[in-house]
A and B are shown apart, each in its own frame.
Chain A
Amino acid sequence: MKITGAQALIKSLELEQVEVMFGLPGGAILPVYDPLIDSSIRHILVRHEQGAGHMAEGYAHATGRPGVAMVTSGPAATNVVTPLCDAYMDSIPLVMITGQVPYAVIGTDAFQECDTVGITMPVTKHNWLVTDAQDIPRIVREAFHVATTGRPGPVLVDVPKDVSNQLMDWEWPETVDLPGYRPTTKGHTKQVKDAARLMGEAQRPVLYVGGGILKARAAEALRELAELTGFPVVTTLMARGAFPDDHPQCLGMPGMHGNYTAITAMQKADLLIALGARFDDRVTGKLDAFAPDARIIHVDIDPAELGKVRRPDVPIVGDCRVVIEELVKAVRAEKGKRSWPVIDPWREQLREWQARYPLVYEQFEDGPLKPQYVIDTLRDNSPDDTIVASGVGQHQMWTSQRWKFNHPYTWVNSGGLGTMGFAVPAAIGAKVGKPERMVWAVDGDGCFQMTAQELVTASAERIPVKVAILNNAYLGMVRQWQEMFYEERYSEVYLSPDLPDYVKWAEAMGCVAFRVDTPEDVEPTIQKANEIDDRPVVIDFRTDYREKVYPMIAAGTSNDEVILDPAHDPHASGH
């Protein structure tokens, strides 16, 4: 049967079980938008291509399925570079389809030509320029295979217009044949045994859990391992929710703005079991001083992560779920053989730190509204399985610190790239993927201004996301650094609380909007917002611009030097 390349592309996406894609048409991709009309795939028309990319990411975060986006050539392709890089840094499965000028004119600086494959090579796991419509089904299969297996990541398929129009003989390949791509999933048996033996010797162990646990759908296996060993667990920014925050063994988030106990537990550990984590500089602080006494077991599906930053004593290449299940067996066997050290003193020490250094803030009744109070109230008035997306900055750190993530796939955030503007489109994508769940974006006023126009998309498509803007009138995180490390010399960080008028702006985009200035209005307004389910809601919370994120580890310093909230000052608190 002869069909066009464009028809073959849509048909291939359908066969890959794509239900929804995010995008915006234009000249070079026109042929593909035509058969889309007759397709079962839902298309969500965005207002900026960056939004399409982040929506696809949010969808993938929430569902575990690959997010799909489609845009035209040239400026549209360059507009998706940010979400591609974001997905690359955070290992999000994403399939990006871009239109390209006709193959016949590539290289002539044709209208809206750009070297999309060249530009996106460093920010994709792999990319393809299609030169013959006959190859489309095979390339689409390969693209989904590469995006979703091994260490997941974004891929891009660049389709020239003449290739889309070319007739081809439809044939769907039964298998994928990529001789240079064979991810290892099963851990090496001897290494697994070695790991179990080290675990049986540790006095101060910590399970250091990263985003790989979520990618591997390994939350349940992790819980089994944690409960079997009784070891404490830290969940990195990318892994919040991979282990329930309300579990007694959970220490919460480590790293630059982690809590004292999580940071110090890693620092003083004699064994770190890194599971799908990558020793990011935001977690380790100054590398030479990081966890000096710890032996390292490192499990990752990407062999290049093992030894990239810190040399492991036991490296295990494999899928986290498969390896943890093997580890559970090995630990059981090891426990049957001999008695394990009692780690009660260690647990006692952790409890003591938790009691001594909790996260603190104070909301005065008539004082300015504290961002932490807003987040706590939002958390306590929303369902336990609410999906939370965030932007990048102070509001992100407070949300990660304070929310109780008791379920996997409830935290959607930009960790590796730290992309301002991520929250609104990512929340929309998450809501599309999980329409039955409540989805809140906790956003900064700076971030909101970068991608807010996607609320038009949300209104038009009836995607009822909710946005809490923590409006501190500043690029708050940058302000915090200028205050602490640049002698309060504030340079280009002031934004203004009421320019723009967020309520009017949100209403103009078809949302219900509220403004909250005082603590007593927080709860009733959130409750009102949570009752709205037919359109997006935006709340402009006017928060205290002076509030800083603590604890903090200054860039380049050791994790021994945790800067605590001044409220912990031994002189102030009378220690």
Chain B
Amino acid sequence: MSVQHHILSVLVENKFGVLTRVAGLFARRGFNIYSLAVGPTEDERFSRMTIVVDAESAPIEQVTKQLNKLIPVIKIVELAPADAVERELMLVTVKATAEARSQITELASIFEAKIDDVGYDALTVVVAGPPEKLDAMTVLLQPFGILELQRTGRVALPKLARRPAKLRAVRTRTG
């Protein structure tokens, strides 16, 4: 994750074909999707897409303006990483010889990961958390030999205010 990323939380109508419209728009305009997660929301009429785009391929203002033109797109919120709670899930299958096994389980417990499957000479670890945590875990598992790895793509919501809203001076608009 070296390049600058933007996170868009996009509320869309829950109808068939909406994902195609969104994905097609990105392809057509030459915007690159880094990750994409789609799921239902609290309201069954809508779904939420969490789209991570790399800022270089995609001038974010154009992306949101073009997305807004799609009829089934209801609302777009751009989440600055600092203002968002981001979570991702990862499954990793690592080689686990008899000697390595305990080291991997130890690592997993540090990362609050779980061993979800155990094979003759491999383990599948599941870990959830902010994307950086998943990156770190990946690096540390690499020496054992990663056989397969699957990440879900991010979901994100805005961070909540910790304090009651402060009264701020209302800025007056002058000519």
Note all chain B residues with C-beta closer than 8 A to A180: 12-13, 70-74
Note all chain B residues with C-beta closer than 8 A to A308: 62, 65
Nearest opposing residue in chain B for A121, CB measure: B24
**B61 sits at the interface (CB 8 A):** yes
Note all chain A residues with C-beta closer than 8 A to B61: 307
Minimal beta-carbon separation of A88 from chain B (angstroms): 12
Note all chain B residues with C-beta closer than 8 A to A129: 17
Note all chain B residues with C-beta closer than 8 A to A179: 13, 74
CA distance A193 to B65 in the complex (A): 24
A-side interface size class = 20 to 34
8 Å CB interface, B93-110 against A = none
CA distance A558 to B24 in the complex (A): 33
User: Which of B21, B61, B68, B71 has the most chain A CB atoms closer than 10 A to its own CB?
Assistant: B71
Note all chain A residues with C-beta closer than 8 A to B175: 190, 193, 197
Nearest opposing residue in chain B for A190, CB measure: B173
Contact A117-B65, Cβ < 8 Å, known A179-B74, A180-B73, A181-B71: no
Minimal beta-carbon separation of A279 from chain B (angstroms): 13
B65 near A304 with CB under 8 A, answer yes
A121 near B20 with CB under 8 A, answer yes
User: Which of A121, A181, A304 has the most chain B CB atoms closer than 10 A to its own CB?
Assistant: A304
**A126 sits at the interface (CB 8 A):** yes
8 Å CB interface, B57-92 against A = 61-62, 65-66, 68-74
CA distance A146 to B70 in the complex (A): 11
Minimal beta-carbon separation of A442 from chain B (angstroms): 33
CA distance A197 to B174 in the complex (A): 13
**A499 sits at the interface (CB 8 A):** no
Note all chain A residues with C-beta closer than 8 A to B71: 125-126, 146, 178, 180-181
Contact of B66 among A121, A125, A190, A304 (CB under 8 A): A304
Contact A121-B21, Cβ < 8 Å, known A178-B71, A302-B69: yes
Contact of B24 among A122, A197, A307 (CB under 8 A): A122
Note all chain A residues with C-beta closer than 8 A to B72: 180
**B168 sits at the interface (CB 8 A):** no
8 Å CB interface, A98-149 against B = 117-118, 121-122, 125-126, 129, 146
CA distance A307 to B173 in the complex (A): 23
CA distance A304 to B76 in the complex (A): 14
**A497 sits at the interface (CB 8 A):** no
B17 near A117 with CB under 8 A, answer yes
CA distance A179 to B71 in the complex (A): 8
Nearest opposing residue in chain B for A304, CB measure: B65
CA distance A303 to B17 in the complex (A): 24
CA distance A302 to B66 in the complex (A): 9
CA distance A401 to B69 in the complex (A): 34
**B171 sits at the interface (CB 8 A):** no
User: Which of A178, A180, A193, A303 has the most chain B CB atoms closer than 10 A to its own CB?
Assistant: A180
**B162 sits at the interface (CB 8 A):** no
Minimal beta-carbon separation of B144 from chain A (angstroms): 44
Minimal beta-carbon separation of B112 from chain A (angstroms): 39
A303 near B65 with CB under 8 A, answer yes
B15-35 vs A, Cβ < 8 Å mask (1 yes, 0 no)? 001001100100010000000
Note all chain A residues with C-beta closer than 8 A to B13: 179-180
CA distance A193 to B173 in the complex (A): 12
Minimal beta-carbon separation of B41 from chain A (angstroms): 14
Nearest opposing residue in chain B for A129, CB measure: B17
CA distance A129 to B18 in the complex (A): 12
Note all chain A residues with C-beta closer than 8 A to B12: 180
User: Which of A121, A178, A190 has the most chain B CB atoms closer than 10 A to its own CB?
Assistant: A121
Note all chain B residues with C-beta closer than 8 A to A181: 71
8 Å CB interface, A352-407 against B = none
Q: Give me 8 A-to-B residue pairs in the complex whose CB atoms sit less than 8 angstroms apart, sorted by A's number.
A: A126-B70, A126-B71, A129-B17, A180-B13, A190-B173, A197-B175, A304-B65, A308-B65
4 residue pairs, one from A and one from B, having the closest CB atoms: A304-B65, A126-B71, A180-B74, A181-B71
Query: Which residues of A pack against B, CB within 8 Å?
Result: 117-118, 121-122, 125-126, 129, 146, 178-181, 190, 193, 197, 302-304, 307-308
Given A121-B17, A122-B28, A180-B72: 19 more A-B contacts, CB < 8 Å: A117-B17, A118-B20, A121-B20, A121-B24, A122-B24, A125-B71, A126-B70, A126-B71, A129-B17, A179-B74, A180-B70, A181-B71, A190-B173, A197-B175, A303-B68, A304-B65, A304-B68, A308-B62, A308-B65
